[in-house]
Amino acid sequence: MKVSFLDLKVKNQAFRARILGKINKILKSGRILDGKDQKIFESKMLKFVNAKYAVGVSSGSSALFLALKANGIKAGDEVITTPFTWIITSHAISSLGAKPVFVDIDENFNLNPANIKKAINKKTKAIVPMHVAGKLCAMKDINKIAKRHNLKIIEDAAQSICSSFKGKKSGYYSNACAFSFNPMKVLSAYGEAGVVTTNSKKVYNKLLCLRHAGTIKNKKSFNINNSNDVSLNHKIDTIHASILIEKLRGLNQVLQKREKIAKYYTKHLNHLIAKQTLKSGEIHGRYLFLGRFKNRNKLKSFLNEKDIETKVFYSPLVSDAKIYKNCKKYTLKNSKKILKEILALPFHENLNLRQIKYVVKQIKKFYEK
């Protein structure tokens, strides 16, 4: 039996008819850019995450880059972040001429607040926590540190659109929050898309300017080259905004299905893996199901032979990537240990019970050998 890590063909089939209808309507209107669905999407997003402002952009990468830039991060600044993430987190920092500083993660694979303090110096301007797999970082603790040292918090929430703790969602404790909606995400577009949320009107106005090449819109003027800052075109198009509006309607159902799969894996593999743990009142965003497995490499090969697709996140650590080897790093012992054990199991809302049982059966079989 074949069990794919993610099946994009099946994932998008459920919305196909409704979305094709909306795309056709947009094409007829001719408003491919700056259409009304862009504003509707932004309005729905700020309500969904309980933020004051939302700015739709062309990708999650653009969202993080713009969130940093709108908060004044610039060349020479140092930004504390995690080595256990996709490399784009550090690229967004470096693209502004700032330098990522890597500190170790906790047992939930997230930035450990206890390790942040020792990395702070006069050049430190911000902290970028990343909510791995949809498990929120200890944001209240990180926020206390940031306030004490007058630092900005820019959240990489690419994987945590559905995450919350006691009703507080991604972005509650930060100056700005960057979300991604690429096809792999729980809330996904048919290509790349993202959004930045913030509770600051000043940051919001800056984001609007930066999203459109740093230019200022003025309906009374024909001048199009008035610019306050250097930026590129990061606008979300109307089609992707429309797709995301449609996908938002079914998001709770998607999360419920993923939650059931996570509970099944947890119940039947609990004695075999170390996984992310949840506090009372916490909702996991369920982007990935990650576990720490003994003899990980052999298990991965065994599952591959059984036609079960798994993935290793995130190899190598960003701090070990050639381009970042000379950056500051503070005792990444836990990150290195976890990287040797981590494995992501097949995990999406279209997995059926037969497939899930097959995955569990084969993992148990491996450890019984």
251-368 has which fold?
Aspartate Aminotransferase, domain 1 (3.90.1150)
Is pTM, for the whole model, over 0.75? Answer: yes
Res 224: pLDDT: 74
Res 145: pLDDT: 98
User: Which CATH number is 8-249's, of 2.40.110.10, 3.40.50.720, 3.30.460.10, 3.40.640.10?
Assistant: 3.40.640.10
Low-confidence ranges of the chain (pLDDT < 70): 218-223
Res 221: pLDDT: 63
Say which amino acid occupies 368. E
What percent of the residues of the chain are helix, what percent strand, and what percent coil, each to the nearest 5?
40, 15, 40
- Measured between alpha carbons, how far is 44 from 195 in angstroms, rounded to an integer? 11
Compute the mean pLDDT over every residue in the chain, rounded to the nearest whole number. 95
Closest to 180 in 3D by CA, of 191, 190, 195, 168: 195
Residue 96: Cβ-neighbour burial (10 angstroms; 0-12, 13-18, 19+): middle
Per-domain residue ranges for the chain?
8-249, 251-368
Give me the helices (H) in 149-287, please: 201-211, 238-249, 251-269
pLDDT in tens, 57-101: 999 999 999 999 999 999 999 999 999 999 999 999 999 999 999
Residue 323 CB neighbour total at 10 angstroms: 11
Res 179: pLDDT: 98
